């Protein structure tokens, strides 16, 4: 009887930890996908309302961020993903 209980307890613990990890992942995705863009747009509007002379700093920063981000995906991530799937299909 104790062997059955120990197996059930192990399964129950695994389900609890998996559910907890899912909750953490869901919370992180919601914060990054919904909350962060809203705060970012609010910060841009607030900065433009306070000082128009800072707008060029924001434009330069956002431009270089997007250049870095798209450059990373174009030169590093996408070729690695293509290689990964080509090796898996062979």
Q: Which residues of 33-71 are buried (b: 16+ CB within 10 A; e: fewer)?
A: eeeeeeeeeeeeeeeeeeeeeeeeeeeeeeeeeeeeeee
Residue 82: is its pLDDT beyond 60? yes
Residue 88: is its pLDDT beyond 60? yes
Residue 12: the pLDDT is 61
Average pLDDT over residues 54-80: 82
The more confident residue out of 67 and 88 is 67
pLDDT band for position 1 (cuts 50, 70, 90): very low
Q: What is the pLDDT of residues 5-53, one digit of tens each?
A: 555 566 565 556 666 677 888 888 888 888 878 888 888 888 888 887 8
């Amino acid at each position: 009887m104790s062997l059955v209980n120990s197996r059930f307890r192990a399964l129950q613990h695994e389900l609890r930890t998996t559910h907890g990890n899912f909750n953490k992942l869901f919370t992180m995705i919601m914060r990054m996908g919904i909350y962060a863009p809203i705060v970012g747009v609010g910060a841009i509007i607030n900065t433009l309302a306070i000082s128009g002379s800072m707008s060029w700093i924001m434009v330069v920063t956002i431009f270089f961020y997007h250049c870095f981000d798209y450059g990373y995906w174009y030169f590093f991530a996408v070729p690695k993903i293509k290689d990964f799937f080509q090796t898996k299909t062979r």
